[in-house]
Amino acid sequence: MSEKPENRLERIVSDLMRGRRLKLRPKDAEEKEAIIMAARLAATRQGPQRMSPAFRQALGRQIDAMPRDGWVSRRTALVAGLGIAAGTVGGLLAGRGLEGPQTVAAKEIVPDGGEWFPVGTLEDFPIGTARQVRAGAIGAFVTRTDDSVLAVSSICSDLPCELWWDAKHSVLACPCHNKTFSTEGRSNEAYPLPPLDTVKVRITAEGRVEVFGI
């Protein structure tokens, strides 16, 4: 016998009010809006939250262990005012942190043990239009230029979000932060993001377009 909606929600509310993790079952999706609202209201009772000292300490250790390529520059920290003591900043800024944007070479995705996946014929790819395809686990945008094709990853190089083809502006757009890329994967921003990874693509003798995935 299936659980009544009011009982289902009470189970979730009861867990939330005891500070327990959200344990949801597939049928719970029927009350998704109510569940999201319950989580918000449960949070309200607790008031604004801070990390526990133990969690903050553990997170700090993880951050310390991360590859550190100057994730926050002196200039960024100073100009952003992130808790740094202010002082005679002007002269310092002139000396550092005003370098131009850096260009980074695109990486090619070549999965170990990968294979070629057919994604259509050449005619399926109108010139100048990026078409989203999947080669197993690899998502890509394939663009045709005359009789050749190129493919770039469908994941933004900056945030872990899937890009979409903005046909009006002929760009690949990231929904997470309004950044765009050309069909070749170059960032269109004044302060360029890293380029999109490239994906191997080929046209077979029979005119099929194939993408290397896994």
Partner 1 sequence: MTAAGSQPPEELRRRGEVVEFPSPARSTDIALDELEIVYAFIYARVGNRADAEDLTQQVAMKAIPRLRENAPPSAIRGYLFATARSVLGAFWSVRLGLSESELREDLAMIPPAPVGSDDSGERARQILAGLSDNYRRVLELRFLHGYSLKEVAAEMKSTVGAVKVMQLRALRAAAKVRLDE
Residue indicated by tokens 């994941």: 155
Rounded to an integer, what distance in angstroms lies between the CA atom of residue 94 and that of residue 202? 48
Segment 102 to 161, residues that bind partner 1, using CB under 8 A? 102, 158-161
Segment 62 to 91, residues that bind partner 1, using CB under 8 A? 62-64, 66-80, 82-89
C-beta separation of 127 from 144 below 8 A: yes
Report if residue 6 touches partner 1, rule: CB under 8 A: yes
In the complex, what is the shortest distance from the CB of residue 126 to partner 1, in angstroms, rounded to a whole number?
A: 27
Report if residue 2 touches partner 1, rule: CB under 8 A: no
Amino acid, res. 151? A
Which string of DSSP letters, residue by residue, matches 24-85?
--GGGGGGHHHHHHHHHHHHHHH-S----HHHHHHHHHHHHTS--S-SS-HHHHHHHTSSPP
Judged by beta carbon, residue 27 or residue 202, the one nearer partner 1 is 27
In the complex, what is the shortest distance from the CB of residue 75 to partner 1, in angstroms, rounded to a whole number?
A: 7
- Sheet strands side by side (includes 171-173): 164-166, 171-173, 180-181
Report if residue 27 touches partner 1, rule: CB under 8 A: no
The size of the interface with partner 1 (CB under 8 A), counted in residues, is 81
Report if residue 95 touches partner 1, rule: CB under 8 A: no
Report if residue 31 touches partner 1, rule: CB under 8 A: yes
Residue 200 in tokens:
């191997």
Q: Is 11 helix (H, G, I), strand (E, B) or coil?
A: helix
In the complex, what is the shortest distance from the CB of residue 76 to partner 1, in angstroms, rounded to a whole number?
A: 5
In the complex, what is the shortest distance from the CB of residue 182 to partner 1, in angstroms, rounded to a whole number?
A: 20
In the complex, what is the shortest distance from the CB of residue 206 to partner 1, in angstroms, rounded to a whole number?
A: 37
Judged by beta carbon, residue 20 or residue 202, the one nearer partner 1 is 20
Residues 6+ apart with CB under 8 A from 42: 13, 16, 17
C-beta separation of 31 from 25 below 8 A: no
Judged by beta carbon, residue 88 or residue 205, the one nearer partner 1 is 88
In the complex, what is the shortest distance from the CB of residue 197 to partner 1, in angstroms, rounded to a whole number?
A: 14
Judged by beta carbon, residue 95 or residue 113, the one nearer partner 1 is 95
Judged by beta carbon, residue 55 or residue 118, the one nearer partner 1 is 55
